[in-house]
Structure 1
Amino acid sequence: MQKNINMGTAVVTGASSGLGALFAERLAERGYNLKLIARRGERLETLATKIRNQFDVEVAFIIADLGSKTDLESVIQNLSNDEEITLLINNAGTSTLNNFINTPSEKQSAMIDVNITALMALSNAVLPGFKNRDKGTLVNIASVLGYFTLPVSSIYSGTKAFVVHFTNGLQQEFKDTNVNVHLVLPASTATEIWEVGGVPISALNPETVMTIENCVDAVMKGLDLKESAIWPSVEDIELYNLYEEARLKLSTATQTGKPATRYATNVAK
């Protein structure tokens, strides 16, 4: 692929492995300088060295636990002061798949801290600059579980539902600008999050699991196509269009001050 020039700096969170690491490589290939964020410093350093050797781009990295308030504030300060940032991929996330009452409170809080609080805060760190410059791209990695839930995913699905609606709201807010906001909705992907979540990937039907390479390349193509919602594994996008049509119809149906007839009582109106 021919490398573009003056692409600015792309920030990738959760960049030490999985989707984040490959996003970093694909963006470097396109000519972006990089700012990589993750907890595992040795992996970040190894990845940064690899990318610098393979592509003619600058690579900086920040070792940070986005679930830590102190680390998050430091990252926010760094990003807020960097006018070279043109793209942010909010990829970092954590998961624990278990019944709600059997999930330790610290793991419940960790999902909220990383999947919601950090994603929102980092979006807030770059969007004012994007708006002022009328240029920039925000990519929020959600999940198909932002639309669906399982008996073991009530918290994780809840955090990803926040990402869905938060991103949809931002898309409406920035629709008349040159700031692009994208929602990404992967299904089962061969990343370490399964082990972190307590469900080994070997327990899944291999036919339902997408490789990291296929997922990232599908997302990159979706960005090129300027899709607002990128579903890497959904062949028939009309299914999503019908879902959105039904959602909007339901929204319209709520706009009345009268209770539905099924809730009617004998009380005089």
Structure 2
Amino acid sequence: MSKPRVLVTGASSGIGAVYADRFARRGHDLVIVARDASRLDALAARLTAETGVAVDVLRADLAEDADVARVEARLRDDAAIGILVNNAGVSYAGAFADQAPADLARLVAVNATAVMRLAHAVAPRLAAAGEGAIVNIGSVVGLVPEFGQTVYGATKAFVLFLSQGLAHELGPKGVYVQAVLPAATATEIWSRAGANTDQLPPMMAVDALVDAALAGFDRREGVTIPPLHDGALWDAYQLDRVAMIPSFGASVPAPRYTETAR
């Protein structure tokens, strides 16, 4: 049987380019998506020459509605696509109060809205087939408001919740959903965000990040956090979260909100 085609967004460089490389070396044909057509063409030519897989280039700016719609159509109509890697993302330096509204709108459009729309485009077809996978690249920043990247972190928290919700809905139908939460990774996102690269701390290499994420993919992990060495911490976090759920059905406020101050 032929392996499913993989569509990777943000594939022109960094994490997306390495995902494309790794899936090509696993024998998967690809659809690679990004804004930079020349980079995509170069990557497609290299991967085809080195691995023999077919690589289609789809230029799209995922902040633009019409471009997202074209990628959605490919996901809906191309029955060979069985894996979506939602990797495209942007970031902007600076504090929330100092960031431009247009930059914040673009950040939400690419990091959250496009991720949701592309997953929504492919999910019905994968569920009907009873197989397939959606991989959403989030970030540990979505768990750490203390880092101060408020809107970026909010979009990544959205990606995590979206992934967990989709796993709950689609898992019983045979569709695997994985959220990958990198920490600081050595990609171009830092320079594009306007950060001073000379002042950045040591970061995980992109190859190491993707290889770890694919190890989680092969194990069918719901959430993969490559920099977290003590996996029991995540397990405990999840157990504490689940332990709260029965309390959310209470019909009266907790006593601490109704007791008279002494």
Give me the TM-score of the superposition, normalised by structure 1.
0.93
Q: Offset of 1:150 from its aligned partner?
A: 3.7
- Matched residues in 2 for 1:76 and 1:177: separation? 21
Q: Offset of 1:151 from its aligned partner?
A: 5.8
User: Who is 1:69 aligned against?
Assistant: 65
Deviations 1:242-268 (A, max 9, x none): 0001111223333211112121156xx
Are 1:27 and 2:23 matched, yes or no? yes
Confirm or deny: 8 A CA contact 1:97 1:156 kept in the other structure: no
User: Who is 1:120 aligned against?
Assistant: 116
**Bigger mean CA deviation after superposition, 13-22 or 74-83:** 74-83
Count of residues in Structure 1 that have an aligned counterpart in Structure 2: 260
Please state whether the residue corresponding to 2:136 is helix, strand or coil: strand
Which one of 240, 253, 258 corresponds to residue 247 of structure 2? 253
**Bigger mean CA deviation after superposition, 48-57 or 191-200:** 191-200
Confirm or deny: 8 A CA contact 1:14 1:91 kept in the other structure: yes
User: Who is 1:215 aligned against?
Assistant: 209
User: Who is 2:232 aligned against?
Assistant: 238
User: Who is 2:76 aligned against?
Assistant: 80
**Bigger mean CA deviation after superposition, 149-158 or 59-68:** 149-158
Which one of 85, 88, 92 corresponds to residue 89 of structure 1? 85
Please state whether the residue corresponding to 2:173 is helix, strand or coil: coil
Higher share in helix: 2
Confirm or deny: 8 A CA contact 2:141 2:147 kept in the other structure: no
- Matched residues in 2 for 1:23 and 1:80: separation? 21
Please state whether the residue corresponding to 1:202 is helix, strand or coil: helix
Query: Which sections of structure 1, spanning at least 5 residues, go unmatched?
Result: none
Percent of paired sites with the same residue: 36
- Matched residues in 2 for 1:137 and 1:93: separation? 19
Aligned residues: CA RMSD? 1.3
Please state whether the residue corresponding to 1:176 is helix, strand or coil: helix
One-letter code aligned to 2:216:
G
Give me the TM-score of the superposition, normalised by structure 2.
0.96
One-letter code aligned to 2:173:
T
- Matched residues in 2 for 1:166 and 1:142: separation? 10
Please state whether the residue corresponding to 2:249 is helix, strand or coil: coil
Which one of 37, 40, 43 corresponds to residue 41 of structure 1? 37
- Matched residues in 1 for 2:50 and 2:179: separation? 29
Q: Offset of 1:202 from its aligned partner?
A: 3.1
Rate the CA distance shift 1:179–1:238 in 2: closer, same or farther, 3 A: same
Q: Offset of 1:156 from its aligned partner?
A: 0.4
Deviations 1:99-127 (A, max 9, x none): 11100001000111001110011101111
Which one of 154, 157, 176 corresponds to residue 158 of structure 1? 154
- Matched residues in 2 for 1:252 and 1:200: separation? 46
Deviations 1:43-92 (A, max 9, x none): 00000000010011100010110000111112111221100001010000
- Matched residues in 1 for 2:55 and 2:128: separation? 25
- Matched residues in 1 for 2:213 and 2:246: separation? 32
Matches within 5 A, 1:180-199: 180-199=176-195
Query: Which sections of structure 2, spanning at least 5 residues, go unmatched?
Result: none
Report runs of 4+ in structure 1 exceeding 4 Å deviation.
Answer: none
